[in-house]
Structure 1
Amino acid sequence: MSHADNAANAAPDLDTLSRYLKTSETATSRRIPPLEKWHPTEVATMDMHIKANGEWWHEGRKIERPALVSLFASILGKEVDDEGADRYYLKTPVQKLYIRVDDAPLYIQDVGVVMEDGVQWLEFTSSTEDVFRLNDAHLITLRARDNDAVQPYILVRHNLEALIARSVFYHLIELGDLVEKAGQTVLLLDSGGVRYEIGMPAD
């Protein structure tokens, strides 16, 4: 059965989805639930659209409540189809709802320096309340998009990446060091006692 066929059997409803989440543990603690342990039988396509600037839209209208967006982001997942394309979805124990994403599904809006036991960490905050530090599990990469513009991304969770806002990346440049290495400009960032090299993507 195709996703389109399944969609006819499971009409997603934004209010029903939000009510389900609000009664779950996720609503009060914003813990990221174990999506990999959920195997819903209802599969559908939902008119949800995450724009490149981090805005979430439903049925042509922007979702204005940050708390609701944050809640939906906690059940966001990604898979790769047979053609190698990324597919994004919202998942509950009973439904898997495919949605549309323009670029990265998450968006980094702030970065700061945190000192802990004399060690400097770079701590990021997303528009959907994810807070994490630059480390081996959360690496930054630069990638060229279809318009040849190079943009910075960082791995957040569940194989989900976040686009780093331009202003945030400029701040990272101020916090780090730009050096020439093998004829290429490389950004060096210190976090958790480790020096990370951020280089331009290969041609």
Structure 2
Amino acid sequence: MTQSTPDDPALARLSAALGEIGKRGLPPVERWNPEHCGEIDIRIAADGTWFHDGSAIRRPKLVKLFASILRKEPDGTTVLVTPAEKVRITVEDVAFAAVEMAVEGEGEGRRIAFRTNVDDLVSADAEHCLRFEDGAEGLKPYLHVRRDLWALVTRPLTYDLVEMGEEREIDGQRWFGLWAGGQFHRIARAEAA
């Protein structure tokens, strides 16, 4: 695969508008409301790989820069937004992948921190919850990262999360789940014995 470069005019404008943003932390995209400028051929694959014009973007700094200006719109579309323009992109599943995990403690005192494929560091808690869905390939856990953007937890980490699971009664029903950040994150209803 070839490396994607900002030779597309829309991609070049976004790159120029961003400048040094990546070095200053996350920009306030929730406050930016420029005109919608259409769609750009950027796709985030289900595994978290970014593509432009069908080729993987191989420059991690560029991917991180674009990830910093992602925003989920009220209609569910995902856009890249700057103070000057907003363009829609394609996201196959969710914007990020949780690729690394660190665990401290046990039970109700357990803390779990994740690193995403774009180096966001997120601790699972009430604000950054874990949700679990049944997919065609089995259990799919997701972690809320920011601004209604989620990370799919990789398969190896999924097995580690399930190993930490326990049963707990909530509102009269038995649930299998795990503690992290003072929250019980439900995985699935427990089978009746």
Report TM bin, short chain: 0.7 to 0.9
Question: Which residue, out of 105, 121, 132, partners 1:131?
Answer: 121
Cα distance change on mapping 1:178 and 1:12 into 2, 3 Å: farther
Question: Which residue, out of 12, 15, 34, partners 1:15?
Answer: 12
Q: Percent of counterpart pairs with the same letter?
A: 31
* TM-score, scaled to structure 1: 0.77
- Residue 114 of structure 1 and its aligned partner are, at CA, apart by 4.7
**2: CA distance between counterparts of 1:36 and 1:58?**
24
Q: Does 1:91 align with 2:113?
A: no
- Residue 13 of structure 1 and its aligned partner are, at CA, apart by 2.5
Q: Residue deviations 1:63-96, cap 9 Å, x none? A: 0111111111000011232xxxx21110000110
Q: What value does the CA root-mean-square deviation take over the aligned residues? A: 2.5
Q: Does 1:178 align with 2:159?
A: no
State the SS of the aligned residue for 2:128. coil
**2: CA distance between counterparts of 1:71 and 1:48?**
14
Q: Residue deviations 1:146-197, cap 9 Å, x none? A: x3743111111001111111111112233x2333768866122243xx2413
Question: Which residue, out of 139, 146, 154, partners 1:165?
Answer: 154
Cα distance change on mapping 1:95 and 1:131 into 2, 3 Å: same
**2: CA distance between counterparts of 1:183 and 1:196?**
14
Give the paired residue count.
Answer: 178
Cα distance change on mapping 1:35 and 1:142 into 2, 3 Å: same
State the SS of the aligned residue for 2:83. coil
Q: In structure 2, what residue type is equivalent to 1:153?
A: Y
State the SS of the aligned residue for 2:77. strand
Cα distance change on mapping 1:186 and 1:58 into 2, 3 Å: same
Q: Residue deviations 1:32-72, cap 9 Å, x none? A: 11112111125220000000000000001000111111111
Q: In structure 2, what residue type is equivalent to 1:55?
A: T
Q: Are 1:46 and 1:98, in contact at CA under 8 Å, matched by a contact in 2?
A: yes
Corresponding residue for residue 8 of structure 1 = none
Question: Where does the alignment leave 5 or more consecutive residues of structure 2 unmatched?
Answer: 1-7
Corresponding residue for residue 33 of structure 1 = 27
